[in-house]
Structure 1
């Protein structure tokens, strides 16, 4: 009866500290993940240029890269590259991929709350855009999506912007970056802000006004990632946001 013997107190197992990359490890791996995403995307364009026997130069890459089908394929090919490097970074820490990225399904209440909040954020920016006489969607995106619809690339663009892009960007921002930075000196608030800033940088093709909108949406996603402890929740919200924007722009004039 060692448990009752004061000379032999019961052993208390201390839970193992989760293996997590902290601030600098997360930052460096985040840079590698971003580069991998870019390489995967540009690699798709390079492949298309090679298949058409075009000169392998900047002009050819730009020419092909502006085509809706090519751009959609580029976005799609960024996903496996992103997942591969994220898996490697987590594997090195000998951690669970699903637990590290919080790949847990949210409840319907969490999903509803996140969707309502997202709608409110978007409506605020929509109202501001109308009041300022600004377009609600960047002009180049409107041209791209309508061109893709007319050229038979609507389905590819839907898959790219409503599936591949949300998964790639959420795995990087609210998945890997948030996980490591929230466990560092930044804690949860700092991790939400910094990961949202990084996500905003990914969208530098927009002007400052749209970048501000991207940041606020990213901050909401970050809050929901914290509140629900679910990356799937932010992936779904991101996908719904992009899907709505693509469908409205393609078929309802933006």
Structure 2
């Protein structure tokens, strides 16, 4: 038998051979940059397409004019999702890994969802209280103007879908999906991956001031922890969607 033959020792699988293929620190960072660029190109492509349909010249002034309209901005955010999915699929495909497993697209328990929601509510309430104490707006002024303008111009549902479905999916797939997966398997481990992916997610929101960026970063840390705790990206997508949905509804129809 081979087990008794020194020339043919038994095959023993090492832990590394069992580990699923995954991009590590630099691979994840470079592919993450590529995915972000793809998302941006998808968003800008929607603006260019709408400007071309109107017969406008392809210059910066025309693109800015079209891009500031609520319908255009909503379509831009929506078009960033398929571009993001395609770029992430390519990165995972090259590694010959499972798209679902790589991104942890598995549902979690209602207990984890409840915990995540309660934690999110507490974080938002703390920041809301601080905003009121400092005499600040709970929602950035430009977002309030955009959402109310969209409501008045008949783009409410489109904006609602863009900010409550498309944006959470795109951002979570990038941050808590692809970036967390690779960086948590690198020298950063889980704590470093949560911290760095939250920082990247915060940088994506540079249109906000430093106060709102701090709030975004805090929420990102909670999402990262829940991603680790539950092992589910769907959980953070749902939490992100609930957060955005509440903010959009309050701003559009309640005046919060």
Partner of 1:34: 36
Please give the TM-score of this superposition, normalised by the length of structure 1: 0.96
Q: Map 1:55-74; keep pairs closer than 5 Å.
A: 55-74=57-76
How far off its partner does 1:11 sit? 5.2
Please give the TM-score of this superposition, normalised by the length of structure 2: 0.95
Q: Map 1:62-101; keep pairs closer than 5 Å.
A: 62-101=64-103
Q: Map 1:91-130; keep pairs closer than 5 Å.
A: 91-130=93-132
Match of 2:205 among 203, 219, 223: 203
The 1-side partners of 2:137 and 2:203 are apart by 21
* Deviations 1:24-76, CA, capped at 9 Å, x for gaps: 00000000000000000000000000000111111111110010000000000
* Deviations 1:68-123, CA, capped at 9 Å, x for gaps: 00000000000000000100000000000000000010100000000000000000
Partner of 2:149: 147
The 2-side partners of 1:11 and 1:194 are apart by 39
Q: Which stretches of structure 1, 4 residues or more, deviate above 3 A after TM superposition?
A: 5-15
Could you list the runs of 5+ residues in structure 1 that have no partner in the other structure?
none
The 1-side partners of 2:142 and 2:120 are apart by 24
Work out the number of aligned pairs and report it. 253
CA-based RMSD of the aligned residues comes to 1.6
The 1-side partners of 2:22 and 2:11 are apart by 27
Partner of 1:192: 194
Partner of 1:171: 173
How far off its partner does 1:253 sit? 0.5
Could you list the runs of 5+ residues in structure 2 that have no partner in the other structure?
none
The 1-side partners of 2:211 and 2:223 are apart by 19
Match of 1:158 among 157, 160, 163: 160
